[in-house]
Amino acid sequence: MGKQRKTWSPELKEQIVLAVLSGEHTIAEAAREYEVSESLIHTWRAQFLEAGRARL
């Protein structure tokens, strides 16, 4: 049986992205703290910058 994917709420995605954008955390620090891959945070950040919170 395969692993089940984690789902992330839009609120948590926004919190992580804003922490990175504000300089509170680097992407690497946020990835470790929230147990999310760095590439996923890069994706969320790009989506947020492109379309705002609605895209998350």
pLDDT of residue 1: 63
pTM: 0.84
Helix or strand or coil: residue 33?
A: helix
Assigned domain for 44 exists = yes
Assigned domain for 4 exists = no
Query: How many domains does the chain fold into?
Result: 1
One digit per residue, the tens of pLDDT, for the chain of length 56 reads 677 888 999 999 999 999 999 999 999 999 999 999 999 999 999 999 998 877 77
Query: Chain-centre distance of CA 24, in angstroms?
Result: 14
Within 10 A of 31 (CB to CB), how many other CB atoms are there? 19
Taking the C-alpha atoms of residue 35 and residue 54, their distance in angstroms, rounded to an integer, is: 23
Domain housing 19: 10-55
pLDDT of residue 44: 97
CA distances from residue 53 to 2, 3, 35 in whole angstroms, order as listed: 31, 28, 21
